[in-house]
Amino acid sequence: MKVRLTRPLRIAIEFAVLALLVLLFVKVLDPRQLRRYVELITPQVVTGILTFQLAILATQTFHWALILKEAGIYRGFWWTFFARVSGFAFTYLTPSMYFGGEPVRASLYKDRLMSYEKVYATIALDKYIELGAKIPFIIAGFSLLVYFVHTGAVLIGVAGFILLVLIALFLLVIVKLFSSRTFIVTASKRVLRPLARINPRLAVKVLRSIREFARDVHEIIRRRRIFYVALAAGLLVALVEVLQTYYILFVLGHPSLPNSIVIFSTVIIQGLIAILPGNIGGMEGTHLFIFNLLRIGSNASIVYTLILRLGQMTMVLLGLGFIFLWRVERVRVRGADRNRTDV
């Protein structure tokens, strides 16, 4: 039985996590060393992290644009970037770091000539590529972590099994998507069986939309070359994110590409199971743990997270600004249409 967190309970959890983090950081931090790290955050460093964030979002826009072109609904780079950043902003404010902003992205991108099913098909493939392209870095990070820490065989076995399951699922979905037209519909029918017993009409409507969605997905990936090019672009995104991690470590005086891969991979896995908006507490706790495991230190951990959050939150504000301008424009257009009708 799924237990839903009420709003007051979620707020209470957030405050509890933040309070624990404050106590933890006060206990383990060295104020003098922390101050020296904070003084490293110069305007040049801020410019650097913003450049990385824009490069990540621009590359993500590129591989979504490839899918949109194949679907025949591409509206140009800037409109695609506008929707992509807005979706990122909304996702960042939801409990998961990777899901939640898709409806916002679809609403901002869609025009009157497009169906929601087709737009969602492109977003689903884009999201699948974004997460799938991170798997090689997760494997590399896990391998390096095992090498650095020399942990027990049981923990290695459990973590290795989880990674193998993730890889197997990723490959299974690729094979099924390319080999079967009915894969998505068949899987959806099984999921919708409880709903069909409760509300058959609603189940039929949902299944009809899924069928259209599945047809659009199959048409988009019909040319495998486009899918593979988009996947290569997804790998480039993950590489830029690793280089961003390396850049922050370099600023803090701990440059190490292997450590960058370990930090990046562990935060990806933790972000998938985050329960608080913006991964509050989860990111800080993971960084604190892994930085100490890699013997970088707690002080570097908090300043690393601060620099990363600074770049991410700037992109969130940019996305929220785009959403605000989009809403203002929609109100203006509706008002103009109403005035035209009255005349």
Residue 97: which H helix or E strand, with range? Answer: none
Least confident of 22-26, 146-150, 282-286: 22-26
pLDDT at residue 2, rounded to an integer: 45
Among residues of the chain, what percentage have pLDDT more than 90? 24
What confidence tier does 216 reach under pLDDT thresholds 50, 70, 90?
A: low
Which position has the higher pLDDT, 255 or 277?
A: 255
pLDDT tens digits along 251-269: 999 999 999 999 998 888 7
Residue 247: which H helix or E strand, with range? Answer: helix 224-251
pLDDT tens digits along 67-76: 898 888 888 8
pLDDT at residue 12, rounded to an integer: 65
What confidence tier does 154 reach under pLDDT thresholds 50, 70, 90?
A: low
Contact in structure between 111 and 75 (CB atoms under 8 Å): yes
Give the highest mean pLDDT range of 125-129, 141-145, 181-185, 308-312.
308-312
pLDDT at residue 101, rounded to an integer: 83
What confidence tier does 55 reach under pLDDT thresholds 50, 70, 90?
A: very high
Structure pTM?
0.80
Total Cβ atoms within 10 A of residue 19: 11
What confidence tier does 319 reach under pLDDT thresholds 50, 70, 90?
A: very high
pLDDT at residue 239, rounded to an integer: 94
Contact in structure between 39 and 237 (CB atoms under 8 Å): no
Please give the mean pLDDT across all residues of the chain: 80
State how far the Cα of 303 lies from the Cα of 291, in Å rounded to an integer. Answer: 11
Mean pLDDT of 87-116: 85
DSSP conformation letters of 30-99:
-HHHHHHHHTT--HHHHHHHHHHHHHHHHHHHHHHHHHHHHHT----HHHHHHHHHHHHHHHHTSSSSSS
State how far the Cα of 159 lies from the Cα of 157, in Å rounded to an integer. Answer: 6
Contact in structure between 241 and 264 (CB atoms under 8 Å): yes
The single residue listed with the structure tokens 């922050």 is 248
Mean pLDDT of 30-35: 76
What confidence tier does 45 reach under pLDDT thresholds 50, 70, 90?
A: very high
Quick check: 330 pLDDT over 60?
Answer: yes
Contact in structure between 267 and 153 (CB atoms under 8 Å): no
Least confident of 9-23, 68-82, 194-208, 235-249: 9-23
pLDDT at residue 129, rounded to an integer: 83
pLDDT at residue 28, rounded to an integer: 59
What confidence tier does 336 reach under pLDDT thresholds 50, 70, 90?
A: low
Mean pLDDT of 42-50: 93
**Phi and psi, residue 295, nearest 5°:** 60, 35
State how far the Cα of 97 lies from the Cα of 101, in Å rounded to an integer. Answer: 10
Contacts of 292 (CB under 8 A, 6+ apart): 298, 301
Residue in 127, 138, 128, 130 with CA at minimum distance from that of residue 165:
138
Structure tokens, 270: 């933790």
Mean pLDDT of 50-69: 93
Which position has the higher pLDDT, 23 or 304?
A: 304
Total Cβ atoms within 10 A of residue 87: 28
Quick check: 168 pLDDT over 80?
Answer: no
Least confident of 29-43, 248-262, 273-287: 273-287
Mean pLDDT of 128-137: 84
